[in-house]
Structure 1
Amino acid sequence: MAFGANTTGDTTFIDVDTPYGPLRFKVASFHPKPKYDSISVTPLNSEHEEWIAPRGWEGDLEIIRTDATADNFFAQWEADFYAGSPSMTQPTTITETIKETDGSTSTFKYTGVALKLTDPGKRENGKPITMQISFTAKRRLKS
């Protein structure tokens, strides 16, 4: 739901499509960040100049464990890796869909995604398990 003229996190929806099929997570937070390279040059006859080039994206997904989807995915990926299977050489895509305050929808696709389970979550009596997945992506494209 939007808060006044502001977009809030609950108006953002995340879909993850992998070579193993789509993953459906209960996403608690999604934090994408662009990566850049910069080259600084100071010519003798001019002021300092800086060139900035995009170098992909990185980010974090925080998910609430509602079933074994994430655990099964990473267990299968690890088993395939050690078996020499090329399944994960095919890219993963993350689709971010945002319902804007004016009722329109914005969709962004993160392509060439590599996923990494960074924290499978603390198992504690009576508390939800929150898992952390980090990712890198080659591009972020508006759909």
Structure 2
Amino acid sequence: MANPYSIGRDCRITVLWNGSRIDLRDVTSFSAAQETQALRASPLNGVPVEFNMPNGWRGTFQIARANAALDNLIASVEAAYWNAGTVGSGTIYQYVREPDGTTSTWEYTNVSMQLKTDPWQSDHMIHQNVVFFASTRTRIS
């Protein structure tokens, strides 16, 4: 019998930057949360009401460092800024294998990233953590 619930292995991500796929071999975790901006009214003749307006997505992912792909990406983003004053953005695709066997694909657009890295230590696997912001998340399939 197939697993009736989503588990961590059911998710994979792909990062595109300036149209090029970045080979992040061993993504070990991924999370994303919707951000909202609360708009609130307190009418004199009624109860308070609040509306949550979509305001992007913030998330993190972690990789077990298997190559320099992420370091190279961050270096190229930084170089583009210092050499030409351009700040690039990317796209993250999240693929989720659903318990019914179908795949849901989510596209995070206008992504900006910040690299956080575990310390380099003897006999210690290096994990790189990325904090990202995306303007939108859209269901592709």
TM-score (norm 2): 0.91
Identity of aligned residues (%): 28
1:78-89 equivalences under 5 Å are 78-84=78-84, 86=86, 88-89=87-88
1:39-78 equivalences under 5 Å are 39-78=39-78
Question: Mean Cα displacement is larger for which, 76-85 or 102-111?
Answer: 76-85
Which residue of structure 1 lines up, in the alignment, with residue 93 of structure 2? 95
Q: What RMSD over aligned residues (CA atoms) do the two structures have, in Å?
A: 1.5
1:121 Cα offset (Å): 2.2
Q: Following the alignment from structure 1 to structure 2, what is the Cα–Cα distance between the partners of residues 39 and 79?
A: 39
For 1:78, give the aligned amino acid. E
Runs of 4+ in 1 over 2 A off after TM superposition: none
Q: Following the alignment from structure 2 to structure 1, what is the Cα–Cα distance between the partners of residues 125 and 39?
A: 45
1:1-143 equivalences under 5 Å are 4-19=3-18, 21-25=20-24, 26-84=26-84, 86=86, 88-89=87-88, 91-117=89-115, 119-143=116-140
1:105 Cα offset (Å): 0.5
1:120 Cα offset (Å): 2.3
Q: Following the alignment from structure 1 to structure 2, what is the Cα–Cα distance between the partners of residues 29 and 64?
A: 10
> What secondary structure sits across from 1:128 in the alignment?
coil
Q: Following the alignment from structure 1 to structure 2, what is the Cα–Cα distance between the partners of residues 106 and 9?
A: 14
1:6 Cα offset (Å): 1.4
For 1:54, give the aligned amino acid. P
> What secondary structure sits across from 1:39 in the alignment?
strand
> What secondary structure sits across from 1:108 in the alignment?
strand
Q: Following the alignment from structure 1 to structure 2, what is the Cα–Cα distance between the partners of residues 112 and 70?
A: 18
TM-score (norm 1): 0.90
Q: Following the alignment from structure 2 to structure 1, what is the Cα–Cα distance between the partners of residues 29 and 106?
A: 16
Q: Following the alignment from structure 1 to structure 2, what is the Cα–Cα distance between the partners of residues 20 and 39?
A: 36
Judging changes above 3 Å, is the alpha-carbon distance between structure 1 residues 102 and 20 closer, same or farther for their aligned structure 2 residues? closer
> What secondary structure sits across from 1:7 in the alignment?
coil
For 1:98, give the aligned amino acid. V
> What secondary structure sits across from 1:14 in the alignment?
strand
Q: Following the alignment from structure 2 to structure 1, what is the Cα–Cα distance between the partners of residues 105 and 19?
A: 23
For 1:130, give the aligned amino acid. H
Gaps of 5+ in 1: none
For 1:126, give the aligned amino acid. D
Q: Following the alignment from structure 2 to structure 1, what is the Cα–Cα distance between the partners of residues 53 and 124?
A: 43
